Structure 1
């Protein structure tokens, strides 16, 4: 027996009108009538007297308290499940080179959709990926250079690396630069950057060895140095801040993907809530 049909029955019993009941159930009247018909087939008796403004028949009167009890029991079961999920601990590992405000907003959005307690850890992309693969976290959000093809991981962002500079810096005057033009430009080196070695290799091939004025794994410090005009930084587009301009390096065309992954035995509802929250947030979903 379909609980939806029970709800249809209760709405008609409350309103005494099939049309009004259909509106309150947000379905068409033929859909509601068909559902009532299916219910009457299961019961083996007419539930409403159509000739008397959808008045309950004797069979309908008998079913009414049971129908209410069924709906109440279902609502109580849902409330119990939600209550148990509120105390579930979800261990989340986040890559240190991801935009932290967007990552925190993602978790807050998911937590509103399906409450759970959160324990957050962070690390380099390699460390977070290893934690996920070894089952040492329930959910992981991390960047990679190449796609991951497994059932428990989805790509939620794909973005290029750019050369970031303060809007008043000379690099901000053009959208594209040759590596040779950057030979004397001071660089801020993001120590945990997944593309650091590859970018350095490509610049070396182009005959350029950038001078580093700061090398740090702290993204906020690197951003502060860029905004102060101390140098430029090679970073993914999502890490750009207000006051920064972006340019391309002709010889260094690299990109990354951000992966959301979860344990094989993760609760499907929790995984769906996290996935939906990530793809609904345009700061994570690559919509630029």
Structure 2
């Protein structure tokens, strides 16, 4: 049994196709198939049911894949241990960021990080929280940036900053003349939300749940971007809530419609998250230090109340 064979097994399990798995592993399909066949012969079992389309794992195959994932991930971390011992900060670092954080945070820290750690090759992708957690657990990401707490035992969290919610209230809205607003002023009947799958959406719902009964029927419109929500609000279709950093680059003519909350301000906790077995802690800490340094000057809020990004059941 070899680690290479286990890597081939994981690739087929993920793609459910021998040809595609071979392409992803940069080997020929016969080579990959032969190595998996050798492993099955050695173990005297079938890992895959080849009679099904797409290819499916057998029951014993599911257990083997789970263990193979642990072995391959741990073997890949041997170099991480050596790098950490030597104090070397370099190599490939795969990070995911949620969509409501990526557009504002990435431009703030990326250039600084690249200049400070030129030997690090950052591979960045934008995904929702559920996908990020799965990729961390599968070993496809080294770390991620997401709203927390996530209440996931396999994931560790290190707080980067607290970002207040800010209300965007157009001139024709009932709350426009309020200098500041309170969470008790909010009602789901006229709040425009991001579409399902965004943790910021869940945060808004949880915020309103603290003071009002929530009913799914109250939704009027949902959108995939804050820009669309702002345009809809300007058309008189309601108000919306924005993350504080998003308001910094808002069109100047729209800033008059921003309303802050009474303290403690409802806020989201944004953290760098990683799997509990992750060993690239020196890289994680380097990234965290850079981000905290650049954000510290942009967010000066201290008296905040953290709103959970996890859906309330």
- TM bracket, shorter-chain basis: 0.5 to 0.7
For 1:260, what is the secondary structure of its paired residue?
A: strand
Is the counterpart of residue 282 in structure 1 residue 301 in structure 2? no
Post-superposition Cα deviations, 1:3-35, rounded to whole Å, max 9, x if no partner, equal xxxxxxxxxxxxxxxxxxxxxxxxxxxxxxxxx
Shift of the 184–194 alpha-carbon distance from structure 1 to 2, 3 Å rule, reads closer
Does the CA-based 8 Å contact 1:153-1:260 persist in structure 2? yes
Does the CA-based 8 Å contact 1:160-1:255 persist in structure 2? yes
Shift of the 280–196 alpha-carbon distance from structure 1 to 2, 3 Å rule, reads same
Alpha-carbon distance between aligned partners in 2 of 1:178 and 1:141, rounded to the nearest angstrom: 26
Partner of residue 9, structure 1: none
- How far is 1:163 from its partner? 2.5
Partner of residue 217, structure 1: 224
Aligned length: 202
Q: CA RMSD in A?
A: 4.1
For 1:194, what is the secondary structure of its paired residue?
A: helix
Q: 260, 266, 270: which is aligned to 2:280? A: 266
Q: 176, 181, 185: which is aligned to 1:176? A: 181
Is the counterpart of residue 163 in structure 1 residue 176 in structure 2? no
- How far is 1:245 from its partner? 0.6
Alpha-carbon distance between aligned partners in 2 of 1:179 and 1:147, rounded to the nearest angstrom: 27
Alpha-carbon distance between aligned partners in 1 of 2:156 and 2:216, rounded to the nearest angstrom: 41
Consecutive unaligned residues in structure 1, runs of 5 or more: 1-80
Partner of residue 189, structure 1: 193
Alpha-carbon distance between aligned partners in 1 of 2:297 and 2:217, rounded to the nearest angstrom: 33
Matches within 5 A, 1:1-288: 85=90, 88-98=91-101, 100-115=103-118, 116-145=120-149, 153-166=157-170, 170-174=174-178, 175-177=180-182, 179=184, 185=190, 187-191=191-195, 192=198, 193-199=201-207, 201-202=209-210, 204-205=212-213, 210=218, 212=220, 214-226=221-233, 230-241=237-248, 242=250, 243=255, 244-248=257-261, 254-262=266-274, 264-266=278-280, 268=282, 270-282=283-295, 286-288=299-301
- How far is 1:259 from its partner? 0.6
- How far is 1:184 from its partner? 6.6
Shift of the 277–266 alpha-carbon distance from structure 1 to 2, 3 Å rule, reads same
- How far is 1:108 from its partner? 2.4
Post-superposition Cα deviations, 1:136-192, rounded to whole Å, max 9, x if no partner, equal 21121100246889996310112333432246755332112575675874x321121
Does the CA-based 8 Å contact 2:104-2:246 persist in structure 1? no
Please tell me whether Structure 1 or Structure 2 has the larger radius of gyration of its CA atoms. 1
Consecutive unaligned residues in structure 2, runs of 5 or more: 1-85, 302-313
Does the CA-based 8 Å contact 1:179-1:249 persist in structure 2? no
Does the CA-based 8 Å contact 2:157-2:271 persist in structure 1? yes
Partner of residue 62, structure 1: none
Shift of the 176–159 alpha-carbon distance from structure 1 to 2, 3 Å rule, reads same
